[in-house]
A = this chain, B = another copy of it.
Amino acid sequence: MDDRVREHAEVLVDWSARVEAGDQVVMDVAEGAHDLAVAVAAELGERDATLLTTYGSSEVGRAFLRAGDDDREFAHSEPKLAMLEAADVYLRIGGGRNTTALADVDGERRQRARKATAATREARMDTDWVSTVHPTRSLAQQAGMAAEEYRDFVYDAVLRDWESLADEMANMKEVLDAGSEVRIEKEGTDLTMSIEGRTAVNSAASVAYDSHNLPSGEVFTAPHATEGEVYFDVPMTIDAQRVQGVSLTFEGGEVVDFAAEQGEGAIADVLDTDEGARRLGELGIGMNRGIDRFTDSILFDEKMGDTVHLALGRAYDACVPEGESGNDSAVHVDMITDVSEDSRMLVDGEVVQRDGTFRWEDGFESA
């Protein structure tokens, strides 16, 4: 076994999930992620946690979703709900064998199934959950890379000095926590959002930072009262459909118009899920300069330095004051825009990022 698989497992269990003796752990393993699952199991045994492993197979999911009549009703799985409610830690080991394995499942049907499983998603979010991926050939292909090249890419992003990246990102969190309004400007984009009363998360790939992705390297918050236009130039895959060149127009916090150069139907399906799917749940600033290229995987793309992403749908509780609830939805779909050139991000009228450079890096004071 590649030593880096073992190191990946160690980072996941120790830095990210902070697993301790006696923790009740559920690990979900994608079809191609067997090797990392084996390494993680060894780390969990070492730490005297318990382990239940579920099979996150897209092909099993596809077969289940496609079966039955057009008007088939979906329900959540009670065993899954009970399992998640009894779990302290949930580790999702992604890495399938075909990123388009669900391509022939009807969008409306997928949406009904998604709504029906809101309770299990809620229970998962109440655990110390962490998502990561094992570098499979399928993901390498999606990234347009050779398998070995892609493995290097993933381990460069995952096996980092997380403590020091967390320190760097604290600057951005400070600006957002003190601010009330964020404005993003670039060609096709002039968007303002309120962040009044919201708390930014320094997403340092650890539950100790309310951060649930490995790798991570972003600072995010939960915006509201969004107004204006935004254009997402980074391509992505939503529900197994290729999506590119998305424009959204917001009025009073809601999407009132949208277009896409490719995959417009996927965006329409997302927006139709429920009311919350038309509002933003997240504003994220990518700060991981260890990730140096787009690979058509949101886990990596949204963390890349010189990018900003916005998500339609559900907001993370960590960004919202205790007792209040943020935007609620069965979906959370991230979309990314490149801010490396001809762009500005302002907080309360002051420029914080210009052409990909942050204020504290360059000392500039205003526009």
Contact = CB atoms under 8 A, between A and B. Distances in A.
Contact of A45 (B26, B41, B45, B65): B65
A66 B39 CA distance: 12
A304 to B, nearest CB: 31
Interface stretch (A76-84, A165-173, A174-182): A76-84
Contacts of A34: 31, 57, 59-60
Interface stretch (A47-55, A147-155, A357-365): A47-55
Interface string A24-64: 10100101001001110111111010111111010111011
A87 B83 CA distance: 11
Nearest to A72: B48
Contacts of A81: 86
A93 to B, nearest CB: 10
Given A31-B34, A34-B57, A82-B86, A52 B77 contact: yes
A77 B51 contact: yes
Nearest to A117: B50
Q: Max chain B CB contacts within 10 Å: which of A22, A39, A45?
A: A45
Interface residues of A, number: 47
A51 B64 CA distance: 8
A268 interface: no
Contacts of A77: 24, 50-52
Contact of A60 (B46, B53, B79): B53
Interface string A188-215: 0000000000000000000000000000
B73 A60 contact: no
A113 to B, nearest CB: 10
A67 interface: yes
Interface in A260-302: none
Nearest to A65: B45
A63 to B, nearest CB: 4
A78 B51 CA distance: 9
Nearest to A76: B50
A60 B37 contact: yes
A323 interface: no
Contacts of A43: 67
A295 to B, nearest CB: 26
A75 interface: yes
A80 B55 CA distance: 14
Contacts of A64: 41-42, 44-45, 51
